[in-house]
């Protein structure tokens, strides 16, 4: 019975899962080194930052809002944390400060969208520019190398054969999964996403939920930024830029609807894996990295097209 | 004046799975207002559309001025002189009034260029004939009020010099004052010899404008009667197919103690003015009024959706600071909205989660949801309200209107609030589901819940209420107890017509 009520959130995700499976099968048949243990670990390690960053973003997209500042926020928090480390602050403190900073960014987004009533697309886009600019100022145009080993362990260390960063990513994903699917807060997000007006009339604390979703997105951006920096063993003002669009791509490819309500974190993980595998396979095949954005773009278009088509078919079938 | 201009003979129209019209006869005389009435889905709009040429009937004949006609499109009907004013407007918001009235048949000069001056003159002429010279023919339709748009719509219909005009639920979107002026116009059109078919399901309007009334039910004609030959009760009986006492059942109740009181409550937009009402424990109080009279607005104030402009709200005798629905639900107030699909439900979400939407935090105060328990709660209300769905995870949009409404009710029953506001609780649902909902309301009241029911359907409000408030232009203009109920009194209070002026 439990699975019964639970299964609702996976309804659209099944297509993404099938897509991932097809991708895996084709890759392991055609690409030599794909199905080796080392390569699978590499894929997960490469995907882990994307897992973390898009986990929080899933919550905002489920509310039919969007957070375009995820990439810039992660870069900014990475840069500030690098300065903290340079100033010899203890590592746990740096982590806490980074997460707090992420929460602050989320609060700002929540304020602009929930209280000022700006469209989230514009508000978070503006915030992302401000944060990108702040990163340059914080770094003063330079790149910071050589971070303390106690910190870089989180990005490059191993527990047995498993990279630490993968373990952390899994923990965060599990936490967000729990929040979204096992708590009343998660249900409020879905209610709002399906119909904000009905949510208001159903006594859902709409503004509080909106703030919380953006704060969640900010916190995961913060953690993502910290780990990104730990993995690179360096901080650079532009390091988060690539993730702005990739995170949204992961969520959308995973079957979460930009119209809100439908989808969930499981889909996002599948989407992030799909994206990473595409890039991984292209690397293994020696395809120029110049072609990669184009392939990712085609993938997004194909997924959305398929989604639109199956949705129409489904409605027809039920009528 | 007493000649038949339209005769419809044994019309049958089938849609996949249903016989929407079954062997219907209908006729219309010159200068007559013939009301077409029935429950939702009874076939009244279908019949109107057959007459207008929007549907081609499967069987039967239509005679217009004695000649047999077979319309294939609305254009065919229009050319013969049968024009329609629809419930939803068909005007272009960014064209001006004159352009809308003469859309696609603009007067042209010798060079084939549109003669704007003539077009505007003709449009102004038409509006003058409707006493609407205050409408600027050059104004964009978007800028007009709903009532003015309706007048433009009527002017457009009149520009075809029709012999017959069909009004399809024209008052659904109008405020009371606008309804009055619409009725005035209809009387004028009638005097000019135009035959009028008026589709509606609002009892209180019939006596003001109707001459004859034809009742449809489940696609069949139940009968045609002169408006003065029948009582409201008989009309309802014809519509519903059973005696009114079988539809509305109220147990005798003893009321104890005030649970909700408003004192000179006003909003900020001026749509609710100093409304004072009282709701007792175990009581069903009706709030009667036309659309736009401020009934829903009053409910939204009490429920904390709209900000309060002045006045006080007391619950169980204690003054409440009305801030938000979240707070009001904590105080024990629930609200079933009028607009089910937009405000009542998340139609793309499942039955289960819609039922749990409000009460989730009550059952799971510690943040964590246990699915087994949630499922049991959902199943309990599904069984109790007999919600027909093969699967509680089915999306609400695939349910019938009646079942959707039951989901909304289940949502509030599971919250178990002491006070329930029902805004048009039976709109758009079939008779069977209606009777179930009335039964539920009666049961709730005898269990000590208090219900404030908003409705524009008089039979419903008279049948179910222990007491009725009448609201007009944002003010409470009347109050009466069950023993004193009279359809005519309440209707005239709703419309703001004093004494026996409505007897015409």
CA A100 to mean position of chain CA atoms: 18
Residue B61 lies in a domain: yes
B327 and B422 in a single domain? The answer is yes
Q: What is the pLDDT along chain A (319 residues), one digit of tens a residue?
A: 444 444 544 467 788 888 899 989 999 998 888 989 999 999 999 999 999 999 999 999 999 999 999 999 999 999 999 999 999 999 999 999 999 999 999 999 999 999 999 999 999 999 999 999 999 999 988 899 889 999 999 999 999 999 999 999 999 999 999 999 999 999 999 999 999 999 999 999 999 999 999 999 999 999 999 999 999 999 999 998 889 888 999 998 888 888 888 889 999 999 999 999 998 998 888 888 888 888 888 888 888 788 778 777 766 665 4
B269 and B355 in a single domain? The answer is no
Q: Tell whether B364 lies on the interface with A, counting CB pairs under 8 A.
A: yes
B280 and B410 in a single domain? The answer is no
pLDDT cut 90: percent of chain B above it: 45
The Cα–Cα gap between B241 and A201 comes to: 35
Q: Tell whether B396 lies on the interface with A, counting CB pairs under 8 A.
A: no
Segments of chain B with pLDDT less than 70: 1-2, 16-18, 40-41, 87-89, 172-177, 201, 242-245, 497-504
Residue A155 lies in a domain: yes
B308 and B432 in a single domain? The answer is yes
Instruction: Indicate the residue among B382, B416, B450 that finishes a domain.
Output: B416
- For B370, nearest residue in chain A (alpha carbons): A182
The Cα–Cα gap between B284 and B281 comes to: 9
Q: Is residue A84 within 8 Å of A148, Cβ to Cβ?
A: no
Residue A6 lies in a domain: no
Residue A113 lies in a domain: yes
Q: Is residue A230 within 8 Å of A111, Cβ to Cβ?
A: no
The Cα–Cα gap between A168 and B460 comes to: 61
Q: Which contiguous run of DSSP H or E holds residue B7?
A: strand B4-15
DSSP sequence for B92-159 = -TTSBHHHHHTTT---B-TTS-B-HHHHHHHHHHHHHHTT-TTS-TTSBGGGS-HHHHHHHHHHHHHT
- For B376, nearest residue in chain A (alpha carbons): A1
Residue A317 lies in a domain: no
Residue B282 lies in a domain: yes
Residue A255 lies in a domain: yes
pLDDT for position B88: 64
Q: Tell whether A197 lies on the interface with B, counting CB pairs under 8 A.
A: yes
The Cα–Cα gap between A63 and A276 comes to: 26
B470 and B406 in a single domain? The answer is no
B98 and B186 in a single domain? The answer is yes
Residue B503 lies in a domain: no
Cα–Cα distances in Å, from B193 out to A289, B1, B145? 80, 7, 28
Inter-chain CB pairs, A–B, below 8 Å: 93
> Which residues of B are less than 8 Å from A194 in CB distance?
346-349
pLDDT for position A8: 46
Return the number of other C-beta atoms located less than 10 Å from residue B441's C-beta.
Answer: 24
Residue A319 lies in a domain: no
B385 and B263 in a single domain? The answer is no
The Cα–Cα gap between B204 and B243 comes to: 19
Of B86, B82, B125, nearest to B102 (Cα)?
A: B125
Q: Using CB atoms, which residue from A194, A200, A261 is nearest to B305? A: A200
DSSP sequence for B399-455 = S-HHHHHHHHHHHHHHHT-SEEEEESTTTT--HHHHHHHHHHHHHHHHTT-EEEEEE
B288 and B408 in a single domain? The answer is no
**How many residues does this entry show for chain A?**
319
pLDDT for position B308: 94
For residue B450, the enclosing domain spans 243-332+418-498
- Backbone phi and psi for residue A15, each to the nearest 5 degrees, phi listed first: -65, -45
Of B196, B205, B235, nearest to B217 (Cα)?
A: B235
CATH number at residue A183: 1.10.3470
| Half-sphere exposure for B265 (CA within 13 Å, toward CB) | 30
> A201-210 in b/e burial notation, b at 16+ Cβ within 10 A?
bbbbbbbebb
B37 and B82 in a single domain? The answer is yes
The Cα–Cα gap between B412 and B409 comes to: 5
Kindly state the DSSP code that residue A66 receives in the 8-state scheme.
Answer: -
Both tokens assigned to B200: 């509606």
B18 and B78 in a single domain? The answer is yes
For residue A178, the enclosing domain spans 11-27+34-308
Instruction: Indicate the residue among B416, B445, B472 that finishes a domain.
Output: B416
Residue B71 lies in a domain: yes
Residue B408 C-alpha, separation from nearest chain A C-alpha, in angstroms: 10
Residue A5 lies in a domain: no
The Cα–Cα gap between A93 and A305 comes to: 46
CATH number at residue B467: 3.40.50.300
Q: How many domains does chain A have?
A: 1
> A23-36 in b/e burial notation, b at 16+ Cβ within 10 A?
bbeebeeebeebee
Mean pLDDT over each residue of chain B, to the nearest integer: 87
The Cα–Cα gap between B150 and B169 comes to: 12
Instruction: Indicate the residue among B208, B226, B242 that finishes a domain.
Output: B242
Three-state SS at A108: helix
Interfacial B residues in 230-269 facing A (CB < 8 Å): none
ipTM of predicted assembly, 2 dp: 0.89
Residue B482 lies in a domain: yes
- For B337, nearest residue in chain A (alpha carbons): A201
Q: How many domains does chain B have?
A: 3
B216 and B266 in a single domain? The answer is no
Furthest CA-CA distance within chain B: 80
Cα–Cα distances in Å, from B205 out to A317, B213, B478? 42, 12, 19
Q: Tell whether B363 lies on the interface with A, counting CB pairs under 8 A.
A: no
> Which residues of B are less than 8 Å from A190 in CB distance?
349, 353
B268 and B183 in a single domain? The answer is no
Residue A313 lies in a domain: no
Spatial neighbors of A219 by CB under 8 A, at least 6 apart, are A56, A99, A102, A103, A106
């Amino acid at each position: 019975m439990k699975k019964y009520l639970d299964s609702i959130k996976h309804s659209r995700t099944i297509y993404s899962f099938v897509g991932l499976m097809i991708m895996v099968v084709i890759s392991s048949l055609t690409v030599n080194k794909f199905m080796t243990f080392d390569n699978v670990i590499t894929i997960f390690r490469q995907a882990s930052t994307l897992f973390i960053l898009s986990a929080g973003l899933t919550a905002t997209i489920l509310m039919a809002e969007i957070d375009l500042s995820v990439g810039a926020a992660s870069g900014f928090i990475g840069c500030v944390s690098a300065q903290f480390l340079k100033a010899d602050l203890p590592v746990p403190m740096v982590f806490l400060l980074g997460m707090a900073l992420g929460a602050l960014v989320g609060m700002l987004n929540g304020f602009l969208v929930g209280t000022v009533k700006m469209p989230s697309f514009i508000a978070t886009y503006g915030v992302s520019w401000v944060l990108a600019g702040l990163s340059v100022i914080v770094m003063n145009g330079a790149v910071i190398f050589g971070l303390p080993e106690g910190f870089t362990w989180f990005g490059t260390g191993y527990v047995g054969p498993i990279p630490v960063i993968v373990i952390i990513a899994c923990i965060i994903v599990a936490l967000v999964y729990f929040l979204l699917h096992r708590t009343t807060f998660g249900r409020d997000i879905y209610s709002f996403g399906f119909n904000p007006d009905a949510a208001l009339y159903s006594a859902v604390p709409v503004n509080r939920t909106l703030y919380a979703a953006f704060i969640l997105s900010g916190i995961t951006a913060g953690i993502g930024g910290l780990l990104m920096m730990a993995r690179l063993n360096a901080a650079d003002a532009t390091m988060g830029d690539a993730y702005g669009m990739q995170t949204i791509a992961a969520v959308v490819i995973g079957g979460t609807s930009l119209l809100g309500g439908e989808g969930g974190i499981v889909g996002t993980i599948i989407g992030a894996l799909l994206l990473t595998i595409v890039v991984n396979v292209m690397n293994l095949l020696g395809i120029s990295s110049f072609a990669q954005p184009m392939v990712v773009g085609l993938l997004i278009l194909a997924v959305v097209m398929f989604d639109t088509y199956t949705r129409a078919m489904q409605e027809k079938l039920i009528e | 004046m007493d000649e038949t201009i339209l005769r419809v003979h044994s019309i049958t129209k089938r849609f996949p799975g249903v016989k929407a019209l079954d062997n219907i006869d209908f006729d219309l005389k010159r200068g007559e207002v013939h009301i077409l009435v029935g429950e939702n889905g009874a076939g009244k709009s279908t019949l109107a559309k057959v007459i207008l040429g929007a549907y081609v009937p499967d069987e039967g004949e239509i005679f217009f001025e004695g000649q047999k006609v077979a319309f294939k499109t609305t254009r065919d009907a229009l050319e013969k002189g049968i024009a329609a004013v629809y419930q939803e407007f068909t005007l272009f918001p960014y064209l001006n009034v004159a352009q809308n009235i003469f859309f696609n048949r603009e007067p042209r000069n010798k060079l084939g260029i549109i003669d704007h001056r003539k077009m505007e003159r003709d449009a102004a002429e038409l509006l003058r004939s409707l006493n609407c010279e205050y409408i600027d023919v050059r104004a964009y339709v978007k800028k007009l009020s709903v009532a003015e748009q309706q007048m433009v719509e009527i002017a457009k219909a009149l520009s075809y010099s029709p012999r017959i005009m069909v009004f399809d639920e024209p008052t659904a979107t109008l405020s009371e004052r606008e309804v009055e002026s619409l009725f005035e116009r209809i009387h004028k059109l009638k005097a000019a010899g135009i035959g009028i078919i008026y589709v509606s399901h609002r009892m209180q309007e019939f006596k003001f404008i109707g001459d004859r009334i034809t009742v449809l039910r489940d696609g069949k004609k139940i009968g045609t009667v002169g408006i003065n030959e029948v009582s409201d009760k008989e009309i309802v009986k014809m519509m519903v197919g059973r005696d009114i006492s079988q539809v509305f059942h109220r147990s005798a109740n003893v009321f104890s103690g005030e649970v909700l009181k408003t004192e000179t409550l006003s909003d900020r937009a001026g749509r609710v003015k100093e409304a004072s009402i009282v709701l007792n424990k175990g009581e069903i109080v009706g709030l009667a009024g036309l659309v736009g009279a401020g009934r829903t607005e009053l409910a939204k104030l009490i429920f904390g959706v709209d900000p309060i402009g002045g006045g006080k709200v007391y619950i169980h005798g204690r003054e409440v600071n009305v801030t938000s629905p979240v707070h009001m639900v904590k105080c024990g107030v629930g609200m079933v909205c009028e607009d089910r699909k937009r405000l009542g439900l998340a139609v793309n979400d499942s039955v289960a989660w819609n039922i749990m939407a409000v009460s989730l935090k009550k059952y799971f105060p510690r943040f964590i949801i246990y699915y087994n328990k949630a499922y049991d709660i959902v199943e309990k209300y599904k069984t109790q309200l007999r919600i027909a769905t093969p699967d509680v995870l089915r999306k609400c949009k695939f349910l019938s209107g009646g079942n959707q409404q039951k989901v909304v009710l289940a949502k509030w029953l599971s919250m178990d609030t002491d006070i329930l506001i029902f805004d048009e609780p039976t709109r758009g649902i079939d008779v069977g589901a209606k009777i179930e909902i009335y039964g539920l309301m009666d049961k709730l009241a005898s269990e000590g819940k208090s219900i404030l029911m908003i409705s524009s359907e008089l039979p419903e409000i008279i049948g179910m209420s222990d007491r009725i408030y009448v609201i007009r232009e944002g003010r409470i203009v009347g109050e009466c107890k069950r023993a004193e109920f009279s359809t005519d009194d309440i209707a005239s209070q709703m419309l703001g017509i004093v004494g026996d002026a409505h007897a015409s």
